Amino acid sequence: MKSRVVLLQCPTYELVTVEKTLRRGIELLGGLASLFHPGEKILLKPNLLYGQAPDRCVTTHPVVFEGILRILQEHGLVLSYGDSPGYGKPSVVSRKAGVAQIAEQYHVPLADFDSPRWREIQLGNQKVQIPLAAGTLDADGIVSLPKMKTHGLTRITGAVKNQLGCVPGFHKAEFHVRFPHIDAFASLLVQINLSLKMRLFIMDGVMAMEGEGPGSGDPTPMECLLLSQDPVALDATFCRLIDLNPRFVPTIEAGERLGLGTAQEDKIELLGDPLETLRRSSFKVKRYPPVPDVTFRALHPLRNFLLPQPRIDPDQCRRCGICVEACPVSGKALSFSNGKTNPPVYDYTACIRCFCCHEMCPHRAIFIHTPWLGKKVLHFLGRGSTPKGG
C-alpha cells in the first residue's frame, strides 16, 4: 500500500483559509474518524525551536496550531500541547511564539515537557537508553506540526526531525556528543519517532525558511500545507518541492532503512494539488549531501580545510552568550576570550560540527562556511544524483 501525502495550496495565514485547507487535507486522508476516536488524549507538537515572533518563521505559525486544534476539539478529543525548545523554558518560548495564547483561549493545557522518562531503543548493534518527555508518553497519540525549514546538519528540518523536541531539556544537546556522526544521529531521530505514538504530521509551509535555517534563515512564501501519516514520505515531498534530492537528507535515508516510512516516489500517493504548481527550484538550500560518517572520520585530520564550520559575523553578534551555552562539547568549542567585549572565538579542533550554536543564535550572527576544497569534495560525493531524486 502506498503512503499518502496531501499537498494543498494555502496562500495566507487567515484562520478561515487555514482551517478550510486542513479540513480538506484530513478528508483526503480518509477523514477524522479514520485517524482519531472521540475521547482520546492527543498531544499537539509544534516546532518551538526558541522564542521568536511568528513572522520570523522559526516556529510553527500559531494559526496552523489553532486551525488543527479547533478541528480536533470538535471531534471530542482531549488535547494538550508542548515542545522542548532548544533554548528556554517551554512555557516562555510557547508564549513568545504565540502558541500559548491560542491554547489558553481553547483551554488546552501545556503538557509536561520537563520530566524525562527513559526508554530503550536499538541503535545499530547497541541498546541505548533515551529520555522522552512525560507529556509525550501520556498521550494516546501525537499530531506533529513541523515547520518547513532548512537545516545546516540535516539539510531540512521536517516531519522526522520535529520529534527531537520530545526529548526534554539539555538531553538534546547531549545527543550531539553521544552521536556526533550524522548517520548515527539521524538513526536516533528515527528511533525517537518509532518510540512514540505518532498519529499525523502536518507541515506548515505557508511561509517557510530558506538559507541559513533552522533559526537564521530568511522567510519565504511556499504557500502550502502538507499532511501525512508517513513522516518520511512527507519530508521527501518537501524535498521534491524545492528540487532537493531526498537522498541528501540523512533522516530520510535512516527513516527508510529502519522502516519508519518511504521516500520512493512510486510508493507515494500524492493527493490534493499538483506538485508542479507549487515547486520552487529557487529555494535556497544546500543541494549536496552532508559528510558521511566514514568520510568524516577519514577527513578528520584535515577537517579545518575541508569540513563545514560555523563562523560568527561580528557585526551581527550581540555577545549574548547563547551560542556558548548551546555548545554541547565538554569544555566548549567556543568561548569569550576577553569578557564579552568581543564575539566568542571557536576552537575548531574541539568542534564536532553539530551546529547547535548556529541553530540557537537568535540574532542570525552565525553562519556555516564550507571551505572551497570542501565544497568540491561534497559536490563530488553527490555527483550523479538528480535534484528531484527518488
Q: Are residues 145 and 265 in the same domain?
A: yes
Residue 325 lies in a domain: yes
pLDDT tens digits for 204-258?
999 999 999 999 999 999 999 999 999 999 999 999 999 999 999 999 999 999 9
Q: Number of folded domains in the chain?
A: 2
DSSP annotation string for 189-210: HHHHHHHS-EEEEEEEEEEEEE
Strand segments, DSSP code E, in 188-306 are: 198-210, 218-228, 268-272
**pLDDT band with cut points at 50, 70 and 90 for residue 299:** low
Here the CATH number for the domain that contains residue 72 is 3.40.50.11440
Stretch among 44-58, 153-167, 286-300, 328-342 having the lowest mean pLDDT: 286-300
Q: Are residues 177 and 204 in the same domain?
A: yes
The candidate with the shortest Cα–Cα distance to 95, out of 51, 61, 132, 35, is: 51
Q: Using CA atoms, how far apart are residues 19 and 317, in angstroms rounded to an integer? A: 39
Q: Are residues 227 and 357 in the same domain?
A: no
Q: Which three cell numbers stand for residue 41?
A: 488524549
Boundaries of domain holding 347: 293-381
Here the CATH number for the domain that contains residue 354 is 3.30.70.20
Reduced to 3 states (helix: H, G, I; strand: E, B; else coil), residue 14 is: coil
Q: Which of 251, 277, 303 is the last residue of a domain?
A: 277
The candidate with the shortest Cα–Cα distance to 332, out of 350, 354, 314, 349, is: 350
Residue 307 lies in a domain: yes
Residue 386 lies in a domain: no
pLDDT tens digits for 357-387?
999 999 999 999 988 877 777 667 655 443 3
Q: Using CA atoms, how far apart are residues 310 and 240, in angstroms rounded to an integer? A: 27
For the four alpha carbons of 68, 4, 231 and 196, in that order, the dihedral sign comes to positive
Q: Are residues 72 and 29 in the same domain?
A: yes
